[in-house]
Each structure stands twice: as structure tokens, then as C-alpha cells.
A and B are shown apart, each in its own frame.
Chain A
Amino acid sequence: MKPNRPVNLDLGTIALPLPAKASILHRVSGVALVVAVAVLLYLFDLSLSGEAGFARAGELLATTPAKLVIWGVLAALIYHCVAGVKHLLMDLGIGESLQGGITAARITFAVAAVLIVLAGVWVW
């Protein structure tokens, strides 16, 4: 492999098509989830530490800032799961064409948006 072969991977200069946007958001949500695991482990730990801890976790989750954080975590989780299922389906050869990729990205955004709104309703 020639080390000086021409490449253009400067993402800032490339107009991202819809499937690329779906892909980069999958990555962004994944990185966010790595951080979110700390929040979830903390709450999980607290909720299983005893009656008092369980009640304390409930109190924490009743505040508006905490609800916003949890909704954010759920949004990242939902998007990552939906985009992940799209990924697995494409691995199986479903929707691998150019048009299929665009349609799959549209479906991913639509399904994730609906589920994220529903998650918001559930949190509040």
C-alpha cells in the first residue's frame, strides 16, 4: 500500500447523504452511551442497595434535571438500538442497494423519533 495515495476523508468537505448521517449519529449515540453507562450503573447500584436506596433513586428520578438526563440517555439508547437493527438487517443483505440504504435510513429516523417521543411521555 502506497503511503502517499490520494485520499479525501476530510468529513467537513463532504456533503453527507442521509445514510451517512444515520451512520455518524449511530457513532455519536454510541459514544454518548459509554458515558451514560456510568449514570445507569449508579442508579442501578442505588436502587438495589436497599429500601432507602431504592426510595432515594426514585426521588432523584422525580426531579426535572434528572428526567432530562434520563430522556437524553433513552434517546441515545433508542436511536442506537434502531440504527443497530438496521445494521444487522443490512448484514443479512436486506436493503443493501443505494435506494435501499436511503429508505432504511429514513425508516430508522422515523421509528427512532416516534420511540423517543414515547419515551419522553413515559419519563414525564
Chain B
Amino acid sequence: MSADASGNGRAQLVEAEHLKLYFPIKKGVLIDRTIGHVHAVDDVSLSLTEGETLGIVGESGSGKTTLARCIVRLLEPTDGTLRFRGQDITHLGRRALEPMRQEAQIVFQDPVSSLNPRKRVGQIVGIPMRLHGIDKDKIGPRVRELLDRVGLNPEHVNRFPHEFSGGQRQRIGVARALAVDPRLIVLDEPVSALDVSIQAQVINLLDDLQDDFGLSYVFIAHDLSVVRHVSDRIGVMYLGKLVELSPAQELYVKPIHPYTEALLAAIPVPDPTENRARERIVLSGEPPNPIDPPSGCRFHTRCPRATEICSQVEPPLAEYANGHAAACHHPQHVSEQEIAAATYSSLSPRSAGRLMPSGEEAPLDGGGAKTAGADSGAAAAEAEHARPEQAG
């Protein structure tokens, strides 16, 4: 939301390296046999700095919600490393996670099922504070303060969730997340269940809260126009992979990955004249099955630009100017020079080839090859380096 949020000098809040989450598929009556895995998140690396908003977009099944739940450690990654404020939290147990839980909160998509219907609003918002050992006498006044802050009437502490409208319920969810003074809030499609006029209210609220408390957001959505409004950087996911990572505004004028372009083209513009003038790329087919994803580039089965190489070699994330990275053998909206200047990003998946869009092999000593075995300090420096340096 603030332009300089991803600028230098701010501490890394979340660092994910080669994060994988596979869900096993079990079959059998007495003995469960694992017959396959759903590749929900497959080797995704990214970082988030303090005060920044990272938007994650993708269709259903792209793994964006799984990634969000990994980040707050509601799920344990299958592989890779996840650090929160420099501390490795990839495989920490429940007790060891407690301090981190206070700092990283989540707001869920469905405000109906994420609030206990039998508890009063005061209890719902107060529970996180009780769990984190905050003085009982302080909880009551703090709950009222929070309700007031998110635009609800503090007199309503004794009401039940069903007495509120959808937008108000989502505000309760936000108040609950704020209760323990978190640094990071993961917002999993926080407005998709709401009406347009109410969406704008909730987004404005989130915007204000970020400014007031210096929060960092991971904003998950399938709606690219909402994400544009809130994000500093946006990551695009397809079938478990991060296919493009870009400064927010640039993604819309210069989508490098064909999937991003198709996704943008698929959204109808609320303007009849422009809609008529616009050339629509309608993607054929549907996302493939994440149990048995396609070889090479996962998008090649639907991609209008796919060639032979796409089905054979997984493209690495190539880093262009402004910290704009995309994993594609046939990048668009970039000039020959930009392609030649692109470097191998350390965020690239391990399974990716080293063939750059320029047709050259990336040298083995550069970029991400080191992160695999390097100590965390070096890796952090790499990640630091990989972050976009925006003009502001």
C-alpha cells in the first residue's frame, strides 16, 4: 500500500525457500497405502518484508490457500525452509510455535464458518488474548477498543455472530486477528464473500489498519483487481508453482508470463466501450490435475505460445528489471535486451532447468544453486538481493 514498503532497510518478516507441501492420497481399508500426492505447493520461494503487502493470485487449485496456511504454520511443509523473523519455523511443534502465533494471524474467507456461532463477539475477539496469557482485566476494555477500531459498535460485545451482516462478520474476524498485536496478517480471500459496496469498505479498513499498526499482509485472492488495489508486490501461482512475481502496478501493464496475461484478459472490464475494443484471449481447457502435473512448464498444456521445450524443461524464474521475475521460456512484453539482461533468480525451483529465455544456460555458480546447501545467513543475503529495488 505504501510505495516504499519493499524498499531497503526493512527487516525480512517471512522467508520461504523451496517450500513444498504435498498432501498424500490414501487408499485401503485396513492399511492405508499412499497412492500418490497432491502437489499443492511445489517448490515456492518468496520473502516478505515488514510493512509490505504481498498479493498472491491464482485460480482454484493453484495452491494459494495452502501456501497461506503454510506461512502461518497451520500446515507443516513437506520440504523446504520457512523462516519467520529469521527463526526457522518449518518443523516446530505446537508449543515452540506459540510466540510466532502471536505475531502471525490469519483472517479466513468465509466469515460465517470461521466464527463460532455459539460464542458472543466479545468472547470470540477475546480468546486469542486469553490464550496468549494477557491479563483478564485488560481483555474486556481491549475488546471494546478493537471493535471500535474495526468500525463496529462496542456495545455489541454480547451479540452472536448471526446478528451481524457479512461485512460486519468479516470485521469481527479482523478484530480477532488484531487482538494480540500481530506483525503479520494473512488474509485468505477476505472480501470474496462480500458484496461490492461492502468489499470497498473492508479493503479501506485493512488499508487504514496497515498504516496505523505497521502491519504486513499476505493477501490471497482470485480477483486480480482487488489485489492490485492493496498489494506492493504480486505473486501469480499456477498449479502449485510461482510463475510470476512482480511489483504490483507493473504486473498489469507488463505481464511477462502468458498465464498472467490470460488471467488478466479473462477479467471483464466494467466499461462497455473498452470491453468491445478489447481483444480477449480465452484460455481453452482447464487446469490439469495437481496429482499428476504436466512435465516441464505446468502451463504448457493450455499455453498459446508453448513449444517443444516447454514440455521438457521446467523454466527457471528469470529475473528482469524492477525485481519482476517470471518462469517462462517465451516471455512476453519484454525486449530482446531485457531478455538478454535477465538473470537466473535464486527463487527458482530446484527442479527447474538452467536454460534462460535468452537461450543461454545460466552459470552454475550464480543465483540459486548456492541456496540449496548454503547456510541460512548466505541464503538470507541471497533473498535480500532478490528483492525488488523500487524507485521510491
Partners in one complex: no
